[in-house]
Amino acid sequence: MEVKVLKGILDANDRIAAENRRLLDASRTFSLNVMASPGAGKTSLILSTIERLRERLGVGVIEGDISSTVDADAVAAKGIPVVQINTGGSCHLDANMIATALSGLPLDDIRLLMVENVGNLVCPAEFGIGEDRKVLVSSVPEGDDKPYKYPLMFTEVDAVLINKIDLLPYVKFDMRAFTVAVRSMNARASIIPLSCTTGQGLEDWTGWVLQEMAGPRS
């Protein structure tokens, strides 16, 4: 006999993500899921954000990588609470990994939790982790055609950061074409050009974060 099921294949992940969210809400911790391809500047963005916001609020970080503690070491060197997740080959963080990581963080002292996902524009878009906002770091050398190539990622996020704009004079990247592409599939996302190297645009980024933290939870 045929049995109607109609269940989301990732429902189990989504249930754990909802539990993570309840835990974070209870400690008044606002969380960002930071996604990007490898080398786009996720860690640089997180380190720059720490520098600019640490005087104003408690910051914490979860680092996701296939292996190594390179990123967590860089965060820990700044005296910021951090947990490194090594996925051991898995190409994305899932809600269960985050649940384990959260138990190792002093959430009551953390108002802003930044989660650096595994460098990948495909799989991380699929798995919610209980975050308040999803953020994508795209970078100038990757090219302006990325929205068309990875549409799921670009439709999922609340903000698209265009990093490495200091390289615009040297790299073929049409800012207008990129913006049109993002807008065509995601009209609500904020688009923020910046450079973690020169600091240009970082005020806009931290302004966005503070504004989202003050606004209604999604």
Partner 1 sequence: MHELAVTQGILDIALGSLEEAGGHRVGRIDLAIGEMTGVVEECVRFYFGVISRGTPAEDAELSVRVVPTSARCQSCGETFLVRECGWVCPRCASACSDLTGGKELIVESIEVRDGSQGTQRHP
- Minimum CB distance to partner 1 smaller for 44 or for 117: 117
Determine if 99 is a binding residue for partner 1 (CB under 8 A): no
Q: Does 177 bind partner 1 (CB under 8 A)?
A: no
Return the closest-CA partner of residue 150 out of 90, 97, 160. 160
Q: Is 2 in the site for partner 1 (CB under 8 A)?
A: yes
Q: Say if strands 112-116 and 82-86 run parallel, antiparallel, or are unpaired.
A: unpaired
Q: 3-state SS string over 28-93?
A: CCEEEEEEECCCCCHHHHHHHHHHHHCCCCCEEEEEEECCCCHHHHHHHCCCCCEEEEECCCCCCC
What is the nearest approach in angstroms of partner 1 to the Cβ of residue 79?
35
Between strands 112-116 and 30-36, the pairing is parallel
Task: Decide whether 18 or 180 has the Cβ nearer to partner 1.
Answer: 180
Tokens read off for 130? 């209980």
Segment 119-158, which members bind partner 1 (CB under 8 A)? 122-123, 126-127, 148, 151-152, 155
Q: Per CB under 8 A, does 10 bind partner 1? A: yes
Among the residue ranges 6-14, 53-61, 100-108, 135-143, the one whose residues contact partner 1 (CB under 8 A): 6-14
- Contact range with partner 1 by CB under 8 A, out of 9-17, 34-42, 104-112, 194-202: 9-17
Judge residue 168's burial from the number of C-beta atoms within 10 Å of its C-beta, 0-12 exposed, 13-18 middle, 19 or more buried: middle
**Which of 92, 133, 134, 146 lies at the binding interface for partner 1 (CB under 8 A)?**
92
Q: Are 13 and 127 in contact (CB under 8 A)?
A: yes
Q: How far is the CB of 18 from partner 1 (least distance, A)?
A: 16
> Is 88 a residue that touches partner 1 (CB under 8 A)?
no
